[in-house]
Structure 1
Amino acid sequence: MPGRLFLTTPITEVAERLGVSAGHLPGQPPRRNIQPGQEVVALTPNGLTRMRWGMIPVGRVNARGRPVMETIINARSETVFDKTAFQGVGRAVVPVDGWYEWTGEKRRKTAWRITSRDGGLLLFAAITDTWLAPGGQRVDQLATVTCEPNGDVAAIHHRMGVLLRVEDLQTWLNGAEKEASALARPWPDGLLNVEEAGDVDWSAP
């Protein structure tokens, strides 16, 4: 939807593939188990940075004027530009090598690894916000945007993250809402590889 992410490609190579500078971002060890609440690399209109995956919606309200209480990990593309809770958000892109989903009953779940069939990066559309935490700490945060699954993913999950082509990044980051919304569609069938992920140490970072 995605549930967890992984990024093993070096940051300098990520920047090169995206046609931007790595800037101040230091290198990082391969990350094979990125969980909600942890930092991810994100491309914003100002370049590459790190942001918390999961938006704490302090001060945001729903259409009934009630506070939004839950941390937002994923936002539905069908309503992300319409919901009161998402007014004024920014946009970003999360580059990853792939993500994980699970199927099956509790305690008997099967983990699945989803990657690009050509071995390239996958670029998730995201929305962003800033949380002013107690003590004045500023936390830049994001939520990935989801849509209906394509044929590759449908057998393991009813949603998938919105994936972007490199040539569409600037439209998502800087385009009008109508232009960005048009990109929020399932990835074409046949471009993703789905395989069991029984080799992952889920206790490792």
Structure 2
Amino acid sequence: MPGRFYLTAPQAEVSAFARADLPPLAPRLNIAPGEEALALTAGGPTTMRWGMIPVGRTNARGRPVMDTLVNARSETVFDKSAFAGVQRAVVPMNGWYEWTGEAKRKTVWRLRPKSGDVVGFASVFDIWNGPGGVKVPQFATLTCAPNTDVRDIHHRIGVILMADQVQDWLSGDEETARALMRPLPDGLLKIEKADDVDLAYVGH
């Protein structure tokens, strides 16, 4: 499941995927949890923080749980109270990174579509109401069971949407959305060890 991703495609390709004119985008090789990222919503493109403080989560003492959720399981996201009232978003990207191996000896893998196309993570979002009236748009990417491309690297994969699926995810009914929450078909991903340029950004 994505822990870091990147968006380095030319502006025109990202705008075509979004079907919208976008503000200037700088290439980003390492988008990490807690950072803002481009997100597409039914109301248009915007930026949001990656990581949700979910509603209604409390600890054993009944106090709010403030830990952020970066990823959410697609199988249960529409059924859990922690995600009550969320809306849908798509987060454009070129690819993402996964790690295998033991601590301090991890191998970093770069995963991306063989086509080179911009694709998107199916996501959910809401607005967190913080102290002092602060409002923070926030999203979590959705995950599902892996396809055979990814199975040896990770037990989950992000729900990946192609350009022609974006509007169905954003504006379709729940049945339509659930039908999209499935692994990417086998054979569409290129998986390779990250090179030195990547490692300088994402670390080990």
Using the size of structure 1 for normalisation, the TM-score is: 0.90
1:87 to 57, 65, 84: 84
Partner SS, residue 99 of structure 1: strand
Question: What count of residue pairs does the alignment treat as equivalent?
Answer: 199
Where does 1:13-28 land on structure 2 (aligned, <5 Å)? Answer: 13-22=13-22, 25=23, 27-28=24-25
- Name the CA distance, whole Å, in 2 between partners of 1:65 and 1:50: 34
Task: Name the structure 1 match of 2:97.
Answer: 100
Pairwise CA distance, 1:87? 1.0
- Name the CA distance, whole Å, in 2 between partners of 1:136 and 1:3: 30
Pairwise CA distance, 1:156? 0.5
- Name the CA distance, whole Å, in 2 between partners of 1:18 and 1:28: 13
Where does 1:124-203 land on structure 2 (aligned, <5 Å)? Answer: 124-199=121-196, 200=198, 201-202=200-201
Partner SS, residue 160 of structure 2: coil
Alignment CA distance shift 1:65-1:146 (3 Å): farther
Higher helix share: 2
Contact 1:115 1:122 (8 Å CA) reproduced = no
Q: Which amino acid aligns with 1:186?
A: P
Give me the CA root mean square deviation.
1.9
Task: Name the structure 1 match of 2:57.
Answer: 61
- Name the CA distance, whole Å, in 2 between partners of 1:17 and 1:167: 9
Contact 2:17 2:119 (8 Å CA) reproduced = no
Structure 2 residue runs of 5 or longer lacking an equivalent are none
Structure 1 residue runs of 5 or longer lacking an equivalent are none
Alignment CA distance shift 1:69-1:133 (3 Å): closer
Q: Which amino acid aligns with 2:88?
A: R
Pairwise CA distance, 1:163? 0.7
- Name the CA distance, whole Å, in 1 between partners of 2:11 and 2:91: 12
Using the size of structure 2 for normalisation, the TM-score is: 0.91
Deviations 1:142-167 (A, max 9, x none): 00000001111111000000011222
